[in-house]
Amino acid sequence: MHKVLCVKEEIMSETKELKYNEPWILQRADPYVYRHTDGMYYFTASLPEYNGIALRRASTLAGLADAEETMIWKKHDKGIMSVHIWAPELHYLDGKWYIYFAGGDIDDIWAIRPYVLECADADPITGTWVEKGKMQRSDDDEFSFEDFSLDATVFEHRGEHYYVWAEKVGVGKKISNLYIAKMQSPYKLKTAQVLLTTPDYDWERVGFWVNEGPFLLKHDGKLFLTFSASETGIDYCVGMLTADEDADLLDPASWKKSRYPVLRSDASKKIYGPGHNCFVKSEDGSKDLMIYHARTETEIIGDPLYNPNRHAMIMEVKWAEDGTPVFSYE
């Protein structure tokens, strides 16, 4: 009887209606969804406690909301990877599963660095995860991952894998920039870092000077790299870089930056501080969907980083006549 009830609950969850631009999965910042080759969707995000990495799986996006969540890795008690476990992304590369995430040291909580987990089993939820350590820079790179580094994403383009991440630089006032490099393996870079973008405009400099949370969307011969800007409160917003698919992606001149945010808070919708998004296709493959986090309140007590009320939401991406994405709450 219990098994029958579980199956019935799973079917009900899988057939739930998907609603856009309202809380979908509560208290999950930096949401990330991956659709595997078998059509299954996987979800992970920063947990409110920042204490580990959890995965959930469903055959539909709506089903992810109530899907069982499994903690597949927990933070260390001390040393590296012992605090501030942030922004995991699940990728399937060269026949294995990888999770890219950032973490700090309990004795130096802002010593945030990028790390990699590997799973050689078919099922990433029940399989064994092995720590591959800190992401390795290329042999000719003296600078990457020496300072506060986080929000790594991986994408493939024309047979090459690229790694894009945020890293702070500077003395005194730290500035978070985005960098890109080609990958030699799932846990080592092949080329030295190239600066993609730095906080140039006022909307990228509220509270902190920040560019972070990159993710790539391809469409109609163009590459669109979205990123998040400013501190994590209601001023958090989304910017975008655009490149041609034939361009040299390691040439900063190939990328054009949006002058204004492509997505920001909207008081009329009670959506505040949208950002740290990813993209995924709808079940039938006809729609591009943005998965992002946002708040539904403006009053934040204390540091917004430790306020858990950033919720995962979904937006349908529309396309303008010139082939650029339109991000709208309507």
Percent of the chain clearing pLDDT 70 (strictly above): 95
- C-alpha span between 250 and 233 (Å, rounded): 32
The stretch 270-289 carries a mean pLDDT of 98
Of the listed ranges 105-119, 154-168, 296-310, the least confidently predicted one is 296-310
* Lowest-pLDDT range of 26-40, 63-77, 159-173, 253-267: 159-173
Those residues whose C-beta lies under 8 Å from the C-beta of residue 115, and which sit 6 or more positions away, are 80, 81, 100, 101, 102, 103, 131, 132, 133, 134, 135
Identity of the residue numbered 50: Y
Tell me if 8 is assigned to some domain.
no
For residue 207, being part of any structural domain is answered with yes
180 located within any domain: yes
Mean pLDDT of 68-77: 98
- Yes or no: say if 34 and 55 are a contact pair by the CB < 8 Å rule: no
Does residue 20 lie in a domain region?
Answer: no
* 15 part of a folded domain: no
How many structural domains does the chain have?
1
What phi and psi, each to the nearest 5 degrees, are found at residue 95? 80, 10
Q: Are 162 and 155 in contact (CB under 8 A)?
A: yes
User: Could you tell me the residue range of the domain that residue 124 belongs to?
Assistant: 27-326
Residues 6+ apart with CB under 8 A from 131: 81, 115, 116, 117
Catalytic entry in 30, 151, 235, 288: 30
Average pLDDT over residues 183-211: 98
pLDDT tops 70 at residue 10: no
What's the whole-number mean pLDDT along residues 256-270? 98
Question: Among this protein's residues, is 212 annotated catalytic?
Answer: yes
For the segment 194-206, the average pLDDT, to the nearest whole number, is 98
- Whether the per-residue pLDDT at 114 is higher than 80: the answer is yes
**Domain-located, residue 33:** yes
Q: Residue 62 is inside which H or E element, if any?
A: helix 61-64
Asked about 123 being catalytic, the answer comes back as no
Residue 273 counted as domain residue:
yes
Question: pTM for the full model?
Answer: 0.95
Percent of the chain with pLDDT over 90: 92
pLDDT at 16: 72
Evaluate whether residue 22 is within a structural domain.
no
Of 69, 151, 167, 212, which is the active-site residue? Answer: 212
CA distance 243 to 237: 21
Q: In this predicted structure, what is the pLDDT of residue 301? A: 86
**Which region among 165-174, 209-218, 225-234 has the lowest average model confidence (pLDDT)?**
165-174
Q: What does the pLDDT look like over 123-180, one tens digit per residue?
A: 999 999 999 999 999 999 999 999 999 999 999 999 999 999 999 997 778 999 999 9
**Predicted local confidence at residue 57, as pLDDT:** 98
User: Domain containing 242 — which CATH number?
Assistant: 2.115.10.20
